[in-house]
A and B are shown apart, each in its own frame.
Chain A
């Protein structure tokens, strides 16, 4: 491969049994035993250690991103990343600080930096697996250095960044606990990680339509939409990576398309094609036709368009530092809960 200068990695800290699984959750509709052909089980088996989770073909993902980056009219597919990038930048502004050195993980054509100013971010390091995306990236007035690097192998020294941001690239990671530990490692103490990834219910309409259509037409179904992390797992993951003061919130972005084919074309143009190992490379044309009909009927809007939901999970985590607030010591309370009633009755009418 190219000389990316991958640094000697520290042994992953999370060597305990993985309590986190990625579920390609079957749609919660009653339709009896499904004989999945290359069933969703392969994507959700818990890894016995840090290194054995291999759900996605990272080489394929790099090729897909390279292909999407050099498309002639690729900018028309950027709407989702721009939206999420601007929301992540909002969260960066919420932190009342300026960051001398910032890392943008999986930034692609860089959708966050254009919303940030030089007062907040002094220098930016942009990484992505796709070299073409970095070459054709957008310019901003923040001095940027681009590094081709896989998110799972960050070639940076520990304690080097004040802020790490990541927008819509963590949902293609094989070993998410390890990546979060890596992010924790490269952050300076009292550094912050602000990330956005596609989660849980993303594209559930597409998944369910394909599932139903394929069950009816072919008698079984195989996963076509990649598995996502659930919201509930995210807090645990960040905690296990030893982040402090966690904030996780969910945003649903719903985009309306004329039909299922336009949706799939846009996903392909965004570089978000499926690259899981367990995907089937073929979609039978009968199934495509059936899925289009089912999608429109089950989820269609009155005006004929169909919605697609992108559930974006935003997370903020801090690397521990002495200056951060700690839970108070037991027994150090100065007021009692019994006084709570007095707070709500300011006239002192009733002393309980």
Chain B
């Protein structure tokens, strides 16, 4: 399997992940703190417990990805 195929293209896209995440460090930190808080606090970890924070992170991430696309 050589040349450009769906796996090599998606790998290329995935390679941009760290730099895009670096631009959203604040939102990532907020989300991380929310999840970490569930491990020590009274609140149990269920689905979408931190949905709001994750939405903010995901929006920031997709915006960063859109900006960098040629």
Contacts and interface: CB of A to CB of B under 8 A. Distances in A.
A and B associate in one complex:
yes
Contacts of B44: 30-32
Nearest to A212: B35
A6 B18 CA distance: 46
Interface in B47-65: 47-50, 54, 57-58, 61
A29 B14 CA distance: 30
A156 B15 CA distance: 45
B39 interface: yes
Contacts of A218: 47
Given A289-B21, A292-B21, A293-B28, A219 B38 contact: no
A215 B40 CA distance: 15
A211 B31 CA distance: 15
Contacts of B61: 289
14 contacts: A29-B40, A30-B39, A31-B39, A31-B45, A216-B35, A216-B48, A216-B50, A217-B54, A218-B47, A289-B57, A290-B31, A290-B35, A294-B31, A297-B29
Contacts of A14: none
A218 B29 CA distance: 20
A313 to B, nearest CB: 27
A213 interface: yes
A234 B62 CA distance: 47
Given A31-B44, A216-B35, A294-B32, 18 more contacts: A30-B44, A31-B39, A32-B44, A212-B38, A215-B46, A216-B46, A219-B47, A259-B21, A286-B54, A289-B58, A289-B61, A293-B21, A293-B32, A294-B36, A295-B32, A296-B28, A297-B28, A298-B32
A259 B18 contact: yes
Given A216-B48, A261-B14, A261-B17, A293 B36 contact: no
Interface in B1-50: 14, 17-18, 21, 27-29, 31-33, 35-36, 38-40, 44-50
Interface of B is mostly: helix
Interface centre among A212, A259, A262, A290 (most CB of B within 10 A): A290
A258 B21 CA distance: 11
Contacts of A286: 54, 58
Nearest to B53: A293
Interface of B: 14, 17-18, 21, 27-29, 31-33, 35-36, 38-40, 44-50, 54, 57-58, 61
Interface in A277-320: 286, 288-290, 292-298
Contact of B49 (A216, A297, A298): A216
B35 A261 contact: no
B45 A290 contact: no
Contacts of A258: 18
A219 B32 contact: no
Contact of A31 (B14, B38, B58): B38
Contacts of A215: 45-47
A30 B36 CA distance: 11
Nearest to B17: A261
A29 B40 CA distance: 7
Given A259-B21, A286-B54, A292 B36 contact: no
Given A262-B18, A298-B32, A293 B57 contact: yes
Contacts of A32: 44-46
B45 A297 contact: no
Contacts of B33: 297
Nearest to B61: A289
A63 to B, nearest CB: 14
Nearest to B20: A289
A213 B57 CA distance: 13
B24 to A, nearest CB: 9
Contact of B35 (A219, A259, A288, A297): A297
Interface string A115-151: 0000000000000000000000000000000000000
